[in-house]
Amino acid sequence: MTPDATKKPEVALFNWRDPRHPAAGGAEVLAHDLLVAFSKRGYDCTLVAARPRGLPATETFEHYRVVRMGNAITCRFYAAWWLWKRRNEIDVAIDEVNTLPFFSRFVVPKKTTLWIFQVAREVWWYEAPPFLAAIGYALEPLMLQVYRSCPLVTISKSSAQSLRAIGLRGDIDIIEVPLPPRDDGRAATVPERIGYVGRLVRSKRIDHIIRAFAIVASARPHAELWIVGGGSTAEAARLRALTEALGCAERVTFTGYVSNERRDEIVASLDCLAMASVREGWGMVVSEAGRFGVPAVAYDVDGLRDAIVDGRTGLLVSERSPEALARALERVVSDRGFRNALGAAAAAYIEPFSQAAFEWRMVDRLAHAP
């Protein structure tokens, strides 16, 4: 598909959140970057999303327009009608799935590509009440069968394998997300400072990290744990109570939500990052720590095993227990030479995943989707 002088080819991207949505995150940043890249190459681009309170129904960003309709659920019905009216004009439909798809495959089956970072699967059991978790776990693969033979784009080998496991058989392209360049100009590492960075939610299993830290701290009087990120008041209270029960509360710092600049300052000071998630699409925080030469110790689960090369850029823990996590953390913080070698390799590992490479590969893949 090549843009011509008579009509700009049209791209429609569907995501229930746009960059100005109150709950916007990394997926919305990537959607913005992709639409800007398309528009710079001569495409007419529209992002179709939900309409949260206080935002206009339509808005023009610097390179594309946003159309907002309905809430987090009903926006899909409005989007289907919007797409139906434009089915002959739209050249590329990108269904960016975040839990619930937009089912654009029903409207323009030969023009739709599924863009999905990860499937939820086990996360349902941690993030929803048991009854809803059972429904979500059962329905997720069924809903995605709409895209059974659709071309797919995802961000890691783990996610590609998960999509195959639930029965999707279309061509899959793995296009890693862009990672920030290495940054060697930050403050020096604080020895034995272990950190977690991310949302305070149960699927991240931060309680495992706290229990592992308590084991490390019992043998290392200078060890400390920083938990960086916001979340629900209830989850924060649960985790704080755990530090009290384990007798390590005075050595654990909860920062709450912090600015990106402050987050980077803290991450750069870490001796080691700890992650115990149930699954990830890609361990983004691992890569963000790597840019400062900070290695990670993590459970060997989907997404984290893509972000870490075991024994070279960090350590993967196959036995998913606090005791095993503690042993791996102890190994890293006790051996300065080993820790520094891991950190240097982690910084080098992220270099190929540039913004330019991401944009070029995504535009080329989606513009030529069958």
Confidence of residue 5 (pLDDT cuts 50, 70, 90): low
Instruction: Let me know whether 172 and 213 are in one domain.
Output: no
Q: Residue 370 above 60 pLDDT?
A: no
pLDDT at 295: 97
d(CA 61, CA 67): 11
Contact 37, 359 (CB under 8 A): yes
The tally of domains found in the chain comes to: 2
Instruction: Let me know whether 147 and 222 are in one domain.
Output: no
pLDDT at 87: 94
Does any domain span residue 185? no
pLDDT at 369: 62
Instruction: Let me know whether 156 and 70 are in one domain.
Output: yes
3-class SS of residue 190: coil
Residue 354 CA from chain centroid, whole number: 16
Does any domain span residue 67? yes
pLDDT at 12: 96
Task: Give 123-175 pLDDT, tens digit per residue.
Answer: 766 777 777 768 777 888 888 888 888 999 998 898 898 889 888 898 999 99
Residue 58, phi then psi, degrees to nearest 5: -135, 150
Q: Identify which of 345, 263, 363 has the alpha carbon closest to the alpha carbon of residue 307.
A: 345
Task: Give 245-304 pLDDT, tens digit per residue.
Answer: 999 999 999 999 899 899 999 999 999 999 999 888 888 899 999 999 999 999 999 889
d(CA 370, CA 364): 12
Q: Measure the CA angle with vertex 329, ends 328 and 332; round to 5°.
A: 90
Residue 126 CA from chain centroid, whole number: 17
d(CA 49, CA 41): 23
Instruction: Let me know whether 269 and 301 are in one domain.
Output: yes
CATH of residue 49's domain is 3.40.50.2000
Does any domain span residue 4? no
pLDDT at 68: 97
Contacts of 238 (CB under 8 A, 6+ apart): 207
Instruction: Let me know whether 210 and 166 are in one domain.
Output: no
Please give the sequence-ordered ranges of beta strands (E in DSSP) within 19-82, or none if there are none: 44-49, 58-60, 65-68
Beta bridge mates, 256: 228
Q: What is the mean pLDDT of residues 325-353?
A: 95
d(CA 245, CA 36): 50
Does any domain span residue 187? no
Does any domain span residue 3? no
Instruction: Let me know whether 117 and 163 are in one domain.
Output: yes
Does any domain span residue 238? yes
Can you give the residue range of the structural domain that contains 162? 10-178+354-367
Take residue 336 and report the two structure tokens written for it.
Answer: 């300065």
d(CA 346, CA 286): 9
Instruction: Let me know whether 119 and 239 are in one domain.
Output: no
Instruction: Let me know whether 119 and 57 are in one domain.
Output: yes
pLDDT at 113: 92
d(CA 130, CA 137): 10
Residue 359 CA from chain centroid, whole number: 17
Instruction: Let me know whether 172 and 274 are in one domain.
Output: no
3-class SS of residue 195: strand
d(CA 309, CA 149): 32
Instruction: Let me know whether 58 and 86 are in one domain.
Output: yes
Instruction: Let me know whether 19 and 167 are in one domain.
Output: yes
Instruction: Let me know whether 138 and 47 are in one domain.
Output: yes
Contact 209, 299 (CB under 8 A): no
